């Protein structure tokens, strides 16, 4: 299972009690249209439910738009 992690959850691994699944939880390996239409990167957390019923984050990674490398270079070239 996986979900999109909010920015405030980017630093520490997620752990969710057995009675509350990670929000929103997806069981499919296919990306939902909401992610493919995003204009900004999304951090995805992969979760596994252990024998005690607790959902634990086991991996994470970013999904970025196809034009993200060019946008990042343009941003880095600006004076800040």
Residue 31: per-residue pLDDT: 65
Enter the pTM of the model.
Answer: 0.65
Residue 68, judged by CB atoms within 10 A of its CB (0-12, 13-18, 19+), counts as middle
Tell me the two tokens of residue 18: 């057995």
Counted domains in the chain: 1
pLDDT digits (tens, 9 = 90+) for 7-38: 888 888 887 777 765 566 666 666 676 677 77
* The 3-state secondary structure of the chain, one letter per residue: CEEEECHHHCCCCCEECCCCCCCCCECCCCCCHHHHCCCCCEEEEEEEECCCCCEEEEEEEEECCCCHHHHHHHHHHCCC
Structural domain range at position 15? 2-77
């Amino acid at each position: 299972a996986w979900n999109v992690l909010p920015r405030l959850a980017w630093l520490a691994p997620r752990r969710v009690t057995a009675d509350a699944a990670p929000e929103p939880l997806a069981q499919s390996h296919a990306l939902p249209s909401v992610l493919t239409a995003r204009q900004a990167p999304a951090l995805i957390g992969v979760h596994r439910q252990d024998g005690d019923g607790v959902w634990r984050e086991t991996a994470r990674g970013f999904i970025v738009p196809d034009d993200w490398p060019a946008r990042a270079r343009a941003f880095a070239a600006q004076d800040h």
